[in-house]
Structure 1
Amino acid sequence: IYFLTNLFRLEVKWGHISMVEAERRLLAHALLDHSNARFILLSESHVPLFDFPTVYSYLTNSTKVYMESYDEPGGTGRGRYKRGMAPTITPWQWRKGSQWFEMDRALAIDVVADNVYFPVFKKFCKRNCYADEHYLPTFLHIRHPEVAAGRTVTWVDWSHGGPHPSRFTRMEVTVDFLRWLRGGTTCEYNGKTTTVCFLFARKFLPNSLTRFLRFAPKVMGFG
């Protein structure tokens, strides 16, 4: 597993195609090591919910990749499609999803090698398009819909609305909250129902680290 956390020295702007360019560069670099079989994008505000052996087994044994790719009516979904993208990308192929992806080697190679859809995004996906929320979901839907799990392995809280998810401070990290994150929902994994749906969670502020370190051995299985 290769954890993509470093955006090198490419200048990146929020919601801009440069974010996708950075992700593709990260994947290209990680692919140079042939032992890397799975690739997951994380940020500085991510926290692991399980120990490394659990995460490794979950991902390497999975038959799917974990990336959101859904059709969303309205201005924040279909409304961001640019007509100039047709006929390469049609409105019916346009998809949305979180940028926090997990993918296998075959999909990573295809993303890095893409010289069909990425140039179209680079040319037309500007201003209110937000390429980081649409390029990979659209690419996955067009090229490899059969491998999509239809979900991500990163938990975030969008219940308060707005363009960004909720942020969590030190005192919000409790034993009950961590236990809920680790098993408070159900999903499908390799054709079976499981309560292990999220391997990571965000957005946690730096001051929450001391609470994680306190609870990790008891709740999260860290040594």
Structure 2
Amino acid sequence: MKSHQQQQHHHHHQKGATSLFPKWHVINTFSYFFLFACGVAAGVFLNSYLKNVSFDLHLTKFSISPSPSPPTTSATHNNTTAAAAVGGGCENRQEKIVVEVPVPVLPPPPPPAGRVGLSEYLKVAAEAMHDMEEEELLWRASMVAKVKEYPFPRVPKVAFLFLTKGPMLMAPMWELFFKGNQGLYSIYIHSSPSYVASPDESPLFRARRIPSQVVTWGKFNMVEAERRLLANALLDVANQRFVLLSEACIPLFNFSTVYDYLINSNQVYVEAYDTADARTRYHPDLMPEITLPDWRKGSQWFEIDRDLALEVVSDRRYFPKFQGFCRNKPCYADEHYLPTYFVIEHTGKMSNRSLTWVDWSAGGIHPNRYVRGEVTEEFLEKLRSGSGECLYNGKKTTTCFLFARKFLTTSLVRLLRYAPKVMHFNP
């Protein structure tokens, strides 16, 4: 039998335990609810944050860590801040929500379509236009490789340089000449910058006009225009022979004949004559680089090889003398510069004959010009082989002129009628 005192103590203990249980239950429930609220608040904040992150970025890590150390490449948000934003109460929790967002990884570049070898690298633009200044162009054109052998297959081309006032007057004739010979020639045209090519211009000459300056016929800058044409043509390493012609010139043979004749020649078409008339144009201001015995005269229309073209655009000894003297004096540099320069430096390379046939029989300061009625089959045959004999690679030949000049546009109709038969153009 328990004593009355022990029974009272036991009854009191049970009553206290019964009264404490609801209190602890309420406290635990409130704690869980509070923690749940904190979690919801953190989730809302995190969800709002992630919505502001670019979808292009790759989420690589999301963690809840008690560590206070900050991540290396991400934004760190303290949980206490998030809790404060929704009413506070989580200040004693030190967890940090760590979101690491690395720098986006770009895809690797696509592999090259094929090997870009030296021949592709050296190819020039399809159009002749560029934005190089004069000195930049001449410097670029004067570059030459010391190794003469080409490390890739190469078909040599003949560069046709046309110095014109405006349009290519004989374009239909030249179309017949070049037809079927793509890849064996290049075309460059220097015309007055005031000339605007017609939309109906022949496709053969479209986009072949180089950046030009004003050309005054018979004055010094004619030589500058010639050098500019040469410099542009030298940018194409395939060009091996360079022919300077005017818009009044026509071919006397088909392309194959002209091409073979020039590519296989060991001399160039530059004429240089020492005449009394030429000496009257000499001036002592040209000394000491150019003396009277060196002074020569010749046609401005020429044909030279690549080595000599490089020498012309690189000349810093004789050209400046003409440049300084001939601008304001009637020395006609276009008739004297190349003949004089070649006599001094490259005599052995000159054939000393003209590239173009022309008729001076009427006298005067200009040769005869040809119109429609003068063009016949017999006349064209005479131009081709009726000029006597000359030397080619040390042997006699009757093919003395490859081109003829001073043909007016009125002669074009008959030229188109007879030239294909006489000159054996490709059909």
Taking structure 2 as the reference length, the TM-score comes to 0.51
Q: How does 1:130-145 map to 2 (within 5 A)?
A: 130-145=332-347
- Relative CO higher for 1 or 2, CA cutoff 8 Å, sep ≥ 6? 1
Note if 1:116 corresponds to 2:317. yes
**Could you say what secondary structure the match of 1:37 adopts?**
strand
How many angstroms apart in 2 are the aligned matches of 1:90 and 1:216?
Answer: 45
One-letter code of the match for 1:63?
N
Note if 1:19 corresponds to 2:222. yes
Matching residue of 1:10? 213
Q: Deviations over 1:6-39 (max 9, x none)?
A: 2242111122110000100110100000000000
- Unmatched 5+ residue regions in structure 2? 1-157, 163-188, 191-210
One-letter code of the match for 1:88?
E
Of residues 1-10 and 170-179 in structure 1, the stretch that sits farther from structure 2 once superposed is: 1-10
Matching residue of 1:207? 410
Note if 1:93 corresponds to 2:329. no
Of residues 58-67 and 120-129 in structure 1, the stretch that sits farther from structure 2 once superposed is: 120-129
Matching residue of 2:423? 220
The Cα RMSD (Å) is: 0.9
How many angstroms apart in 2 are the aligned matches of 1:64 and 1:34?
Answer: 20
How many angstroms apart in 2 are the aligned matches of 1:67 and 1:170?
Answer: 30
Query: Aligned-pair distance for 1:217?
Result: 2.3
Matching residue of 2:256? 53
Q: How does 1:178-193 map to 2 (within 5 A)?
A: 178-184=380-386, 185-193=388-396
Note if 1:37 corresponds to 2:194. no
How many angstroms apart in 2 are the aligned matches of 1:9 and 1:106?
Answer: 24
Taking structure 1 as the reference length, the TM-score comes to 0.97
Q: Larger Rg: 1 or 2?
A: 2
CA contact (8 A) 2:212 2:225 kept: no
Matching residue of 1:104? 305
**Could you say what secondary structure the match of 1:181 adopts?**
helix
How many angstroms apart in 2 are the aligned matches of 1:15 and 1:42?
Answer: 15
Matching residue of 1:78? 279
Alignment equivalent of 2:366, drawn from 127, 152, 164: 164
Q: Deviations over 1:66-111 (max 9, x none)?
A: 011111113xx10001110111100010000000010000110000
User: Could you list the runs of 4 or more consecutive aligned residues of structure 1 that deviate by over 6 angstroms after TM superposition?
Assistant: none
Matching residue of 1:176? 378
**Could you say what secondary structure the match of 1:42 adopts?**
strand
Matching residue of 1:28? 231
Q: Deviations over 1:153-194 (max 9, x none)?
A: 210111112221110001101111100111112111011111
**Could you say what secondary structure the match of 1:98 adopts?**
coil
How many angstroms apart in 2 are the aligned matches of 1:202 and 1:217?
Answer: 18
**Could you say what secondary structure the match of 2:227 adopts?**
helix
One-letter code of the match for 1:94?
W
One-letter code of the match for 1:61?
N
**Residue correspondences, number:** 221
CA contact (8 A) 2:371 2:408 kept: yes
Matching residue of 1:68? 271
How many angstroms apart in 1 are the aligned matches of 2:420 and 2:246?
Answer: 23
Note if 1:153 corresponds to 2:310. no
How many angstroms apart in 2 are the aligned matches of 1:164 and 1:140?
Answer: 25
How many angstroms apart in 1 are the aligned matches of 2:420 and 2:229?
Answer: 32
